[in-house]
């Protein structure tokens, strides 16, 4: 019995015919451009599919590029902020340099700071105790920080390092009740001691007589005495001068140059004095022996 349906051409034969047809179509299209409309139609249909298939890759590429660009911008922004902070801290001394040059232009040496090593640090934490005005910064013994080191920002003196850890340090602010700093009136060079009162917006001048030539508006700068703070950095501005006959001394209040409620970055300073003996960064052997102690008590003031 014969099968109802006969077998078709063999597979090799079908392949042969397919190749012949394909070659014929390619030759015809290359010579006469017979399938231009067909190609255009297919391209119109397939193009959206190609775009859709490439869309996730394009989105990921754009996101990756954007993230990389943002990270680079953040890094550059942080570097620029540090540079601006250092430059502003250096600019604080320009007026004082000019004034001292006029007074001491005939002298070869000067006790004023000419060149200092500086390092920007970020404030990591603020002491929550209202009676302790201290902040934690992200630089420590590994960065060469030492106890008693002066700390400034672009406005003036912030305070001094109270104690040092391996990678962070605690800074005692000039408004802390246990802190005192030798200052002088820029107008007439009267030297006095300014002490913290536990008020971030106010410090007080000690042992001022009623006849002292100090008045509201006088600018106070560091005097350089005490071998801690370099000379000439802004400290505060006198806000009031009052005298009561029942008291031996006048009450003189001053507003700090630094806005401590907005403190974010500070500059650590290694003074290099030509005449006065100011402290320099200790050698490695001494840095390794720095102890991390509790903050100083109010009974002993730092200066």
What percentage of the chain exceeds 90 in pLDDT?
A: 40
Flag whether pLDDT at 232 surpasses 60: yes
* pLDDT given for residue 44 in this prediction: 75
Helices (H), the chain: 11-32, 36-91, 94-104, 284-287
Rounded Cα distance, 268 and 171, in Å: 10
pLDDT band with cut points at 50, 70 and 90 for residue 67 = confident
pLDDT digits 0-9 by tens, 99-129: 666 655 544 333 434 457 889 999 999 987 8
* Higher pLDDT among residues 185 and 248, named by residue: 185
* pLDDT given for residue 301 in this prediction: 54
pLDDT band with cut points at 50, 70 and 90 for residue 6 = low
Flag whether pLDDT at 2 surpasses 70: no
Query: What average pLDDT does the segment 222-248 reach?
Result: 90
Rounded Cα distance, 24 and 180, in Å: 100
Rounded Cα distance, 39 and 36, in Å: 5
* pLDDT given for residue 110 in this prediction: 34
Pair of tokens at residue 200: 């971030």
Cα dihedral 262, 147, 177, 182 sign? negative
SS3 label, residue 91: helix
pLDDT band with cut points at 50, 70 and 90 for residue 92 = confident
pLDDT digits 0-9 by tens, 9-31: 677 777 887 888 877 777 776 76
SS3 label, residue 60: helix
* pLDDT given for residue 35 in this prediction: 67
Rounded Cα distance, 86 and 91, in Å: 9
pTM of the complete model = 0.60
Q: The CATH number of 117-287 is which of 3.30.565.10, 2.40.10.340, 2.40.50.140, 3.40.50.12280? A: 2.40.10.340
* pLDDT given for residue 77 in this prediction: 87
Query: What average pLDDT does the segment 280-302 reach?
Result: 42
The distance of Cα 82 from the centroid of its chain, to the nearest Å, equals: 5
Output the average pLDDT for the chain. Answer: 79
Flag whether pLDDT at 300 surpasses 60: no
């Amino acid at each position: 019995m014969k099968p109802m349906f006969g077998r078709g051409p063999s597979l090799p034969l079908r392949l042969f015919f397919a190749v012949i047809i394909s070659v014929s179509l390619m030759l015809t299209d290359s010579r006469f451009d017979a399938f231009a409309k067909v190609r255009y139609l297919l391209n119109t249909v397939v193009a959206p599919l190609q775009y859709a298939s490439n869309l996730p890759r394009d989105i990921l590429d754009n996101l990756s590029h954007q993230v990389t660009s943002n990270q680079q911008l953040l890094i550059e922004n942080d570097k620029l902020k540090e540079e601006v902070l250092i430059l502003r801290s250096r600019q604080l001394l320009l007026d004082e340099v000019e004034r001292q040059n006029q007074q001491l232009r005939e002298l070869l040496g000067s006790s004023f700071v000419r060149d200092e090593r500086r390092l920007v640090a970020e404030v990591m934490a603020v002491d929550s105790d209202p009676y302790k005005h201290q902040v934690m910064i992200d630089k420590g013994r590994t960065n060469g920080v030492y106890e008693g080191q002066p700390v400034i920002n672009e406005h003036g003196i912030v305070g001094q390092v109270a104690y040092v850890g391996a990678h962070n340090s605690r800074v005692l602010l000039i408004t802390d009740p246990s802190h005192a700093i030798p200052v002088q009136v820029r107008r007439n060079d009267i030297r006095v001691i300014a002490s913290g009162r536990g008020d971030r917006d106010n410090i007080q001048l000690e042992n001022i007589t009623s006849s002292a030539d100090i008045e509201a508006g006088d600018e106070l700068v560091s005097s350089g005495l005490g071998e801690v703070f370099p000379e000439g950095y802004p400290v505060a501005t006198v806000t009031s001068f009052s005298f009561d006959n029942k008291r031996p001394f006048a009450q003189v209040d001053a507003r700090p140059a630094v806005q401590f409620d907005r403190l974010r970055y500070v500059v650590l300073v290694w003074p290099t004095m030509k005449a006065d003996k100011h402290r320099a960064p200790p050698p490695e052997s001494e840095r390794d022996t720095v102890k991390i102690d509790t903050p100083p008590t109010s009974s002993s003031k730092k200066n």
